[in-house]
């Protein structure tokens, strides 16, 4: 028994909710497949969010819907591709009600609307575990797409946004802090917070729940051929930098003092108990872009720094070593961060 209407009724709801008005959608939701009109290269990516793994069981469905699309658009951003279309498969446990379903889709649609994405299909399934599987299609910049593998020794290493805010937000959620309304935060005791830190606590939790994909940065870097390689920071700067270096056949040196560790992490050190540098290196889900820039393009990227909160944090090197430099010394940055299949010994 299910709290939802029959599958075909749900599909009708989605058909009217996502009726495509874009010319490149020849056939949207409601048939065995969608049909789009394409010309030239298309970027395709697929990412799943699983309850208890990627989000907490009581996550606000509207924010979850927004995030499910956002993390996929972040993958397109890393390729320098502009979002076009999305498909969404939802696996839903019997307890799922129509309210949850509609709120999730409100969020998904609002994200889709913001980034001009046409939602063209997907699947609905019952499942013991709640999950969302999203597929996105995008149009790479005319100048070419970005990859992880184009970095060269000597390139500068840049990052967008701050680091660690999402990990700090997750810590707060795990400790029982929750967003309330448009401005409030409820503490673990259930009481509304009324401290000077409330706005910062709220910002960290929002960063975790509602990450913003760097779509415009990604397409700008690709269109102007400013980056030789790019990746989005989903599993932590360290792990994603190792991935970029492995793919490019380079090493890297990261300047510790250049890391844009989120300012709230030291500020809230009593509450969070998190080391700012370690959180910046290993905390996941910031969804900024990490990218390499040839030196002769450095001035052009510097001009974009204010608009996209960019920071040069180091350089690519020839060796395979990925190092952290501070006060004239270097130490290896381990390839650590989020892994879906961790070993007990890791």
Which 324-343 residues touch its own copies, going by CB under 8 A? Answer: 335, 339-343
Residues 241-270 that bind its own copies (CB under 8 A): 243, 247
Q: Which of 39, 189, 190, 299 binds its own copies (CB under 8 A)?
A: 39
Residues 79-138 that bind its own copies (CB under 8 A): 79, 81, 85, 87-89, 91-92, 120-129, 131, 133, 135-138
Q: Which of 231, 259, 272, 313 binds its own copies (CB under 8 A)?
A: 231
Tokens for 73? 């658009």
Residue (202 or 242) nearer to its own copies, CB: 242
Q: Which residues pair with 317 in a beta bridge?
A: 251
Tokens for 3? 């709290």
Q: How far apart are CA 106 and CA 98, in angstroms?
A: 12
Residue (86 or 264) nearer to its own copies, CB: 86
35 interacts with its own copies by CB under 8 A: yes
Q: Which residues pair with 136 in a beta bridge?
A: 45, 86
341 Cβ contact list (under 8 Å, min separation 6): none
Residues 160-219 that bind its own copies (CB under 8 A): none
Q: Which of 52, 176, 184, 199 binds its own copies (CB under 8 A)?
A: 52
Q: Which residues pair with 85 in a beta bridge?
A: 118, 137
On the 0-12 / 13-18 / 19+ scale of CB atoms within 10 A, 157 is buried
Residue (89 or 325) nearer to its own copies, CB: 89
What is the Rg, in whole angstroms, of the alpha carbon atoms belonging to the chain?
21
Residues 291-330 that bind its own copies (CB under 8 A): none
Which of 144-152, 180-188, 207-215, 304-312 is the region at the interface with its own copies (rule: CB under 8 A)?
A: 144-152
Q: Which of 18, 29, 45, 151 binds its own copies (CB under 8 A)?
A: 45
Q: Which of 43, 217, 241, 324 binds its own copies (CB under 8 A)?
A: 43
Residue (127 or 298) nearer to its own copies, CB: 127
Q: How many CB atoms lie within 10 A of CB 93?
A: 14
Q: Which of 13, 50, 153, 258 binds its own copies (CB under 8 A)?
A: 50
Residue (15 or 275) nearer to its own copies, CB: 15
Closest by CA to 159, choosing from 244, 266, 66, is 244
Residue (299 or 346) nearer to its own copies, CB: 346
Q: How many CB atoms lie within 10 A of CB 292?
A: 29
* Angle between helix 215-223 and 61-78 (nearest 10): 10
Edge-to-edge order in the sheet of strand 322-326: 229-232, 289-293, 156-160, 310-317, 251-255, 322-326, 329-332
């Amino acid at each position: 028994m299910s709290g939802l209407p029959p599958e075909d009724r749900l599909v009708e709801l989605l058909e009217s909710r996502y009726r495509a008005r874009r010319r490149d959608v020849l056939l949207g939701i409601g048939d065995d497949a969608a049909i789009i009109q394409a010309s030239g290269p298309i970027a395709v990516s697929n990412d799943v969010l699983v309850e208890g793994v990627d989000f907490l069981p009581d996550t606000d469905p509207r924010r979850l819907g927004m995030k499910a699309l956002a993390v996929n658009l972040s993958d397109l951003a890393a390729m320098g591709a502009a979002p076009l279309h999305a498909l969404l498969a939802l696996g839903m446990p019997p307890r799922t009600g129509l309210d949850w379903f509609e709120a999730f889709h409100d969020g998904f649609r609002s994200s889709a609307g913001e980034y001009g994405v046409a939602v063209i299909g997907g699947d609905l399934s019952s499942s013991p575990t709640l999950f969302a599987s999203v597929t996105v299609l995008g149009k790479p910049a005319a100048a070419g797409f970005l990859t992880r593998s184009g970095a060269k020794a000597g390139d500068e290493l840049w990052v967008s946004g701050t680091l660690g805010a999402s990990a700090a937000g997750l810590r707060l959620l795990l400790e029982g802090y929750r967003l309330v309304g448009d401005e409030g935060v409820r503490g673990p005791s259930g009481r509304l917070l009324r401290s000077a830190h409330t706005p910062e606590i709220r910002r960290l939790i929002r960063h975790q729940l509602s990450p913003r994909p760097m779509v415009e940065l990604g397409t700008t870097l690709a269109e102007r051929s400013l980056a030789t390689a790019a990746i989005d920071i989903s599993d932590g700067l360290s792990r994603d930098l190792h991935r970029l270096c492995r793919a490019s056949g380079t090493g890297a040196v990261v300047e510790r003092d250049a890391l844009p560790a989120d300012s709230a992490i030291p500020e809230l050190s009593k509450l969070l108990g998190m080391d700012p540098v370690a959180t910046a290196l290993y905390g996941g889900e910031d969804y900024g872009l990490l990218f390499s820039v040839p030196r002769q393009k450095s001035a052009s990227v510097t001009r974009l720094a204010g608009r996209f909160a960019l920071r040069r944090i180091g350089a690519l090197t020839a060796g395979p070593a990925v190092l952290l430099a501070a006060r004239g010394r270097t130490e290896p940055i381990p390839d650590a961060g989020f892994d879906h299949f961790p070993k007990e010994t890791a």
